[in-house]
Structure 1
Amino acid sequence: MKVPLDWLKEFIDIDDIPLQNLSDKMTLCGLEVDSFDENHLEVSQTPDLGYTRSILGVARFLSQLLDRKVQSPKMGEVQPILNAPCYTIDTQAKEYVLKYSLKTLHGIHNGPSPDWMQHRLKAAGMVPKNLIVDVTNYVQMALGQPMHAFDEDLLSGPLHIALQPHAAPFKTLLDTDVEIPAHAIVILSQKRVEAVAGVIGSKSSAVTESTKNIILESAQFLPTSIRRTAKTMRLSTPSSQRFENQTDPDGVELALEYASYLLSTYGKASVSFTSTSHSQTFKAHTAQIHLPRVESLLGIKTSMDELKKIFIQLDMKILEESSQSLKVEIPPYRTDLKTEIDLIEEVIKIIGFDRLLEKPASIPLSDTPPDRHVAFKRLLRKKLLEQGLMEMMTPSLINKEHLLNPHSTIEVKNALSDRSILRTTHLYGALESVLHNQNHHCHTLEGFEIGNVYFKEGAHFKELTQVSITLENPEADFLDLKGVFEALLDQLHAEKSVAIPSHLPQFHPHRQAFLEVRGQQMGVIGEIHPQLLKDFGIKRKVYFGELSLDALMHITPKTFHISPITSYPSIERDTTFVLLKSITYGFIETLIQQHRPKLLQEYSLKGIYDPDPDGNTHNVTMHWIYRSFDRSLTQEEVDKSMHEFLHKLEHEINS
């Protein structure tokens, strides 16, 4: 922001301070000066110092650092002669309109603004247009209070403030076409939108050179609503930037009176009384600060008298005091100050950073036991990298439009972007990574992520760690994904998993499954549903699986024994079952685990043959490996064991 020095000096006396010293002190205390010359300062704006988005705000910042008084803008008294304008606020919109004031001005000589005003606007980087527009811009730049002027002769009726029921097209006063989002605050006249509150006005009632009669608006809106509207519209204006950081509630009437004075003085306007409404009573914010905490955090010695002097210098009122603490009232324009730690930060700005003692940090070392979760994450990362997968890290915040199930989700308040929901799965980050690779002509992604997901259970919040694997490879299929997880369990020396049918909407209906170990559900794997891929714009098949880290830790043995390699030969058998197609392999595997003979070392699915595609049965061939570690097995004992084993399986399947 460009700050003309002659304009700044109207609010605070800084003639005796060299510009270099002034620039250094401002930058050191949080308001960075990028450059300066004999005519202006170039100041960088930060969200936490929203009150400095004006000449008055910069003057207030300097007054706190230099202990000098701030002068109010010079204006004479304007005698109102017109009736106050009428307007209404919809009940649903009242909580978003914190303060709303209007004045009517008639008979304005709307020519060029005075030369001195044009000079200051140009010095601040703005282009002069006409008296009415220049006055609203001038007051906004001077006081930090956004204003809007409606051409009264172009309005269809009295103004009405409401919430936009649904998205609708809108032509701005800049002659651009945008879309007003649902639930935005709008200013209407006879159902026609005249302005998107806090963001921009309409072309239909915009001020022109021929405008003579206006309704002048000065207001304070809920910052979160303006931020959400501006972000959704992708339209950031000087007004929205100021409203997003919360304007000074005391500045609403001051700005309206100042603008009325300028228009009556230089435009010969007749001025009305003011119409004002409040949706809530503004209470001064208070905070308490304790001397021992100040000294502990800053590492300096100070006193209650010094603290009292500092807070008076910071334009605060001392409400209560004791030998060890102060309770202060924070001025309404300091919306960045909320808690004791904020006040302590202000203290060191005034005292000076040179008071901080320079000494080596003394940090006691303690023997902290290793965190099992951290060690297990390292182990998982190592095992998955050994499989040739690469590690991914995706955002914990996702767009609301990506939610399949809005229940039990956690929404971030005052989100700075469209990503306002804490993820409940790694899936959406994985799909965004696949889409990014696809858009950059990279059509192979084999990766994993170890990260947290978030849920809400009643009034409590839950944070869990998940392990996910994503495969996007023309040669990969569902069994490849299942094989990666089975290999991981094998690397962890855990028991084998069993695939149980699942029916989740984000996966292909016939290529998905829950993975269970010892009856405990570990997670889910599957091929992503084609419709979901289409919604993301992904053109290839994607396979995704996600397991609970805590569940993996639970089934991973802390110690394990390595069996010696036996010198005795194995005996292998193949068995073919005629099974109903409705019977899953997971069911068969569960039965095998329940009735597994002691001598059965390994087993696997050898093949499936379907002689009659239209029939309800098919042939399933299993391969069995029998082996003993202390002797050679005979054909007879293997045949006997097989007979008893298969008889049990047959009985269970038939039942």
Structure 2
Amino acid sequence: MKVPLDWLKEFVDIEDVPIANMAERMTVCGLEVDAYDNTHLEVSQTPDLGYTRSMIGVARFLKQLYDLKVKHPKIAPFEQSLAAPKISVASDAKDHVPHYRLRAIRGIQNGDSPEWMQRRLKACGMQPKNLIVDVTNYVQLALGQPLHAFDADLLHGPLHVEFLEKKIPFTTLLDTSVEVPQGALVITSKDRIEAIAGIIGAKESAVSYNTTNILLESAQFSSTCIRRTSKGMKLSTPSSQRFENQTDPTMVELALDLATSLIVAYGKGAASEAAHVLSTQRKPHSTTLHLKRVESLLGIKTNLDELKMVMSRLDAKILGSDLASIQVEIPQYRTDLIEEIDLIEEVIKILGFDRLIGGQAHIPLVQIPQDAHVEFKRLIRKKLLQQGLTEMMTPSLINKEHLFSKNDPIEVKNALSDRSILRTSHLYGALESVLHNQNHHTHRFEGFEIGTVYYKENAHFIEHTVISITLENEEKDFLDLKGAFETLFHQLHVHDMKALGSHLPHLHPHRQASLEVRGQCLGTIGEIHPALLKKFGIKKRVLFGEISLDALMHHTPKSFHIAPISNYPSIERDTTIVLDKSISYGFLEALIAQHRPSLLQTYNLKGIYDPDPDAKSHNVTMHWVFRSQERSLTQDEVEEKMQDFLKKLHNEINS
């Protein structure tokens, strides 16, 4: 906001205050001055200092800092020869319209506003229009109270304040078309909306050069009501910004009288008495300021007399005091002062930050207990990053048509888009990420996500953390995805994981498996079904796995034994087993665990050879590593154990 210094001086005497010092101190105390010269200040507005959106507001701010006297504008007397206009407020709207004043002015010789007024409006960045409009803008800039003038000859009848029952189209006085939402507070005349309360007027009753008779409105509207309507319409105006930050209720009458006197003086009109509806009168609130708390929080030495001086600069009325505290009534224009801590902040602003005593701060250190769940997530993230995977975060809201889990979903009330369901799986977000990378010509995508899924269980809302891995790489297949999870399990010392058959519809029927540990299913991995990929427009193979973080954490040992590296060489063997295709690898692993030779150190699946897709069996090649911690093994010894082991496997498989 631009503040002309010649206009500001009409409200406060700043002749003895150096402009540079004033700009610096205003900025330090919260009202930032972006630029200044000898003619004006350029001030950044903040929501908590809404009262400074006017000349008198800036003057009040300077009064607090420099102990100056604020002067109110002088209002030239005017005759109220006409009867007051009719105005009514709907009963359900009265709580949102605490004070509404309306005055008729007739026979106005509308034209250009006086040169001095135009000059001040231009200095504040506003373009002059005509006398009536310029006066309303001038008073708003001077006192911070928005006004609105209706062309009385264009109204359909007496004005009425009410809530809108249903949304309707509306043309503003700026000739822009908007849709007024249901529940908006509006000013109507019979069957037509003449203004959206506190925001903007209608084109149909807008003031022009031809206007001679007006109804001039000055009111106080509920800040929450104006904010809701303004945000809902995505329409912000200087008036709505002031009402959203709450206006000074004591300015409603003063602003109306000042505007009337200016219009009568320069437009030769005749004014009426003011009609007013005073629904609820906002009472000033009070709070208590404790001397010890001020000294404790600020680290300074002060006294009650000094605190009373500060309260006087804030226009706070002293209601009473004792030896340790004072009770004060907050001025109504300071809507940012609510609690004692707010007053303490004002104390140091006014006394000066140089009162703060320098020195080394003594802050007690409080040890925050570690959350095991958070620490485990950090460990998982670290291990997956070490595998070369990229962490991703996808939206928690998805479309109804993209539910891939059998869990009962949770629907969001009042959804703002077609994403109205809380995700039951990471799969949708993973496919969106793959599609995004495909559209941007990224040839491979390997990522993971640690996040929450949501579902209902017995009418209870459940939040569950899962780990998902997504691979989109022509060189990777199901075994690579399984290997990524096996590597994670191995790093966590969870060594008894089994891959068993599963039958999820969104995965390839022959390339999926459920991962189990000690009889508990942790999740499912597999290749995404080609039909689902086609639905998303994804042209390449995608592998996806998802497991429960909580279940994995449950099976992760808190401590483990580390064996020394053997000094003796290993003996390795590769064998090929002919398996019926109906036998899963998980079943084979279970047999290996049951009949495992004592000297078998490790084993892994080396490959599956399927020369004939129509055949009932395929060749499974396994790699075996034998080693002893105490001695070197002989070829004959290993061969004997290997043959005995394979014989047991053969008998179990045939049975």
Using structure 1 for the length normalisation, give the TM-score: 0.76
What is the letter of the counterpart of residue 277 of structure 2?
T
Q: Quick check: 1:97–1:221 contact (8 Å CA) kept in 2? A: yes
Q: Quick check: 1:108–1:270 contact (8 Å CA) kept in 2? A: no
Partner of 1:573 in structure 2? 577
Q: Quick check: 1:577–1:619 contact (8 Å CA) kept in 2? A: yes
Query: Cα distance, 1:30 vs. partner?
Result: 1.2
Q: Quick check: 1:81–1:273 contact (8 Å CA) kept in 2? A: no
Partner of 2:632 in structure 1? none
Partner of 1:390 in structure 2? 390
Q: Quick check: 2:409–2:424 contact (8 Å CA) kept in 1? A: no
Q: Quick check: 1:175–1:203 contact (8 Å CA) kept in 2? A: yes
The CA distance in 1 between the partners of 2:528 and 2:205, in whole Å, is: 51
Query: Cα distance, 1:2 vs. partner?
Result: 0.8
Query: Cα distance, 1:249 vs. partner?
Result: 3.0
Q: Quick check: 1:11–1:72 contact (8 Å CA) kept in 2? A: yes
Moved more, 424-433 or 465-474: 424-433
What is the letter of the counterpart of residue 85 of structure 1?
K
Measured on the aligned residues, the alpha-carbon RMSD in Å equals 5.1
Q: Which runs of 5+ in 2 are unaligned?
A: 629-637
The CA distance in 1 between the partners of 2:303 and 2:441, in whole Å, is: 65
The CA distance in 1 between the partners of 2:402 and 2:302, in whole Å, is: 53
Change (3 A) 1:253 1:391: farther
Q: Which runs of 5+ in 1 are unaligned?
A: 412-416, 580-584, 613-617, 648-655
Partner of 2:379 in structure 1? 379
Query: Cα distance, 1:5 vs. partner?
Result: 1.5
What is the letter of the counterpart of residue 45 of structure 1?
Q
Q: Quick check: 1:394–1:429 contact (8 Å CA) kept in 2? A: yes
Cα deviation code 1:63-111 (max 9, x no counterpart)? 11122232222214553632332334373x5565554443333332222
Which residue among 611, 634, 641 is the counterpart of 1:633?
641
Query: Cα distance, 1:134 vs. partner?
Result: 0.7
Q: Quick check: 2:321–2:327 contact (8 Å CA) kept in 1? A: yes
Q: Quick check: 1:410–1:456 contact (8 Å CA) kept in 2? A: no
Q: Quick check: 1:113–1:134 contact (8 Å CA) kept in 2? A: yes
Partner of 1:257 in structure 2? 257
Change (3 A) 1:567 1:406: closer
Q: Quick check: 2:498–2:586 contact (8 Å CA) kept in 1? A: no
Query: Cα distance, 1:354 vs. partner?
Result: 0.8
The CA distance in 2 between the partners of 1:445 and 1:302, in whole Å, is: 64
Change (3 A) 1:213 1:5: same
Query: Cα distance, 1:483 vs. partner?
Result: 5.9
Moved more, 489-498 or 537-546: 537-546
Cα deviation code 1:606-637 (max 9, x no counterpart)? 5899979xxxxx96869485968776435455
Partner of 2:635 in structure 1? none
Q: Quick check: 2:508–2:528 contact (8 Å CA) kept in 1? A: no
Query: Cα distance, 1:48 vs. partner?
Result: 1.9
Structure (1 or 2) with the larger CA radius of gyration: 2
Q: Quick check: 1:425–1:453 contact (8 Å CA) kept in 2? A: yes
Change (3 A) 1:207 1:442: farther
Q: Quick check: 1:470–1:543 contact (8 Å CA) kept in 2? A: yes
Partner of 2:493 in structure 1? 493
Change (3 A) 1:109 1:382: same
> Does residue 340 of the first structure (1) align with residue 340 of the second (2)?
yes
Partner of 2:22 in structure 1? 22
Query: Cα distance, 1:46 vs. partner?
Result: 1.7
Partner of 2:288 in structure 1? 288
Matching of residues 192-591 of structure 1 within 5 Å:
192-267=192-267, 268-278=269-279, 281-363=281-363, 372=372, 375-392=375-392, 446-448=446-448, 484-494=484-494, 496=497, 550-561=550-561, 567=571, 569=573, 572-578=576-582, 589=586
The SS at the match of 1:203 is coil
Change (3 A) 1:454 1:24: farther
Partner of 1:599 in structure 2? 596
Cα deviation code 1:146-185 (max 9, x no counterpart)? 2222223223344444555665543322223344445444
Cα deviation code 1:247-270 (max 9, x no counterpart)? 223333332333233223333132
Cα deviation code 1:388-410 (max 9, x no counterpart)? 233457899x8999999996979
Query: Cα distance, 1:576 vs. partner?
Result: 1.3
The CA distance in 1 between the partners of 2:448 and 2:556, in whole Å, is: 19
Change (3 A) 1:35 1:470: farther
What is the letter of the counterpart of residue 316 of structure 1?
A
The CA distance in 2 between the partners of 1:431 and 1:150, in whole Å, is: 56
What is the letter of the counterpart of residue 66 of structure 1?
Y
What is the letter of the counterpart of residue 332 of structure 2?
P
Q: Quick check: 1:12–1:68 contact (8 Å CA) kept in 2? A: yes
